[in-house]
A and B are shown apart, each in its own frame.
Chain A
Amino acid sequence: MNKELSLRQISYIYVFISLSSIVRQIPSALAAEAGRSAYISPLWSIVAIVPLTFIVVGLIKLFPGLNLYEIMLQVFGTLLTKIMILAYLLWFILLLATKINIYTQTLQFTLMPQTRNNFFLITLIFLVAHVLQRGLKTVFRFSEFTLGIILFAFIIIFICSINKIREDYLLPVSTFYLVDTARAAVNVVAVGGNIIIALFFSDKLGISTTKMQRGRLWISVGIFLFLTFFTTLSTIGINGASLTAILPFPFYNTVKGISFFDIFERFEVVVTLISMLSDFIAICILFIIIIRCFEWLFNLKEKGLLYGPLIIIVFYLTYYISSTQFEFEFLYRNVIIYLNIVFQYFIPMLIVLFSLFQINKIKKQY
């Protein structure tokens, strides 16, 4: 079997596509729901993200060389699998449209307030089309090369933010708010669940994966939790919980006041750039996954044909979804998060439960 991708690349892409949500949505959502204790929420999310990683790693190990569709076929049978893939397809189209929506809004909010949405959308379409023409590997390689630099930038930002953090914005933490912090953790859990993308590409990993390779997924989960914790901590510690809750891009404002030994300033442009790159890669990955879902659903051999009509649907769906940041936040917190939980946690759990019933039959095959 041709080994097109490695688990390391998938781990990098998981962290990469989560970056924009970590800096943009998570701090404000956590601050709104859990106040000054919000930075504890990422720790609660371990309770959900770690079992999910176990599930993903376990499925890759149990079904070597198979992707999510092929695993589902073995576990659920054809009809149920097709229904679930259709549901996944619709969910991914919705996610893609919301991702594009927030991408254009962030660009308008931070860099180009006078420019119309149309311009960003058309530019984005051309860029995505250009990247997708180069193939799947280009997207994964890009994240592989750039993630190290981005993580380095984050570490510098965190170090520089230490002396700006106000203790009274973070302490005291009352046990009274612990329930709120646990409830708010759903915002982190919904982003951390992106780890399931590994299952959509697991057929590209080759027939066998080593323990060390699978360990990369755990490292990426660790990096995700580290970034989420420190981003929330520094954002609330510098801006305060009440301001963080109402700002559209609170980490951007946090970084505005930071300077690196008075040598480098205006890091916020870097944060915008990271957010843009993360969104861009997420959009490319979502396009690829949507086309894979179409292939699985209709047993297609020619996948390139569908990019054209799909671009038109997503372009107009972006306008149908939301038109302002406020509307987007509402949709994200009330709909997208819960859909994410269903598709990222509930369905993989079902697969594991059903495969446990057939464990002997499955083990005989491999």
Chain B
Amino acid sequence: MIYIFLAFLVLIMIKKKNQLLSAKRNLILFLILSCIGLSMGFIYELNPNMPTIAQTLINYMK
């Protein structure tokens, strides 16, 4: 799934190149959000069975 998303982002970058480059903040925000999304994806792909936020809270609050 992560590769599909990666390709999807590259496609957006190519398609909306002018809009992205028209203002610096557009490009920076797009890149930061893409990096956050992709790193979340890579972490999940590496360890799909990691405890969820809810699980962690349940353990912590018990």
Contacts and interface: CB of A to CB of B under 8 A. Distances in A.
A334 B57 contact: yes
Contacts, number: 92
A304 B9 CA distance: 13
Interface string B1-33: 100010011001000100110110110011001
Chain A at the B interface: SS class? helix
Given A312-B34, A312-B41, A298 B9 contact: no
Interface of A: 118, 294, 298-302, 304-306, 308-313, 315-317, 319-323, 327-328, 330-331, 334-335
Contacts of B8: 308, 312
A299 to B, nearest CB: 8
A56 to B, nearest CB: 30
B57 A335 contact: yes
A31 to B, nearest CB: 21
Contact of A300 (B25, B40, B58): B25
Contacts of B37: 309-313, 315-316
Nearest to A309: B33
B46 interface: no
Given A305-B26, A316-B44, A319-B44, A327 B33 contact: no
B40 A316 contact: yes
In order of increasing CB-CB distance, the 7 nearest A-B pairs are A312-B37, A309-B33, A327-B54, A322-B54, A316-B40, A331-B54, A313-B37
Given A320-B40, A321-B53, A330-B58, 14 more contacts: A298-B29, A300-B25, A305-B16, A305-B20, A305-B26, A308-B8, A312-B37, A313-B40, A315-B37, A321-B54, A322-B52, A323-B54, A330-B57, A335-B57
B41 A306 contact: no
Contacts of A298: 25, 29
Contact of A301 (B23, B33, B41, B58): B23
A309 B12 CA distance: 10
Nearest to A299: B25
Given A304-B16, A308-B9, A312-B41, A319 B29 contact: no
B34 to A, nearest CB: 4
Task: Specify which of A304, A323, A328 lies most central, judged by the most chain B CB atoms within 10 Å of its CB.
Answer: A323
B12 A312 contact: no
21 contacts: A298-B25, A304-B16, A305-B12, A305-B29, A306-B33, A308-B8, A309-B9, A315-B1, A315-B41, A316-B37, A316-B44, A317-B40, A319-B52, A320-B52, A322-B55, A323-B54, A327-B54, A328-B54, A330-B57, A330-B58, A335-B57
A334 B61 contact: yes
Contact of B38 (A304, A312, A323, A330): A312
B12 A331 contact: no
Nearest to A316: B40
A302 B54 contact: no
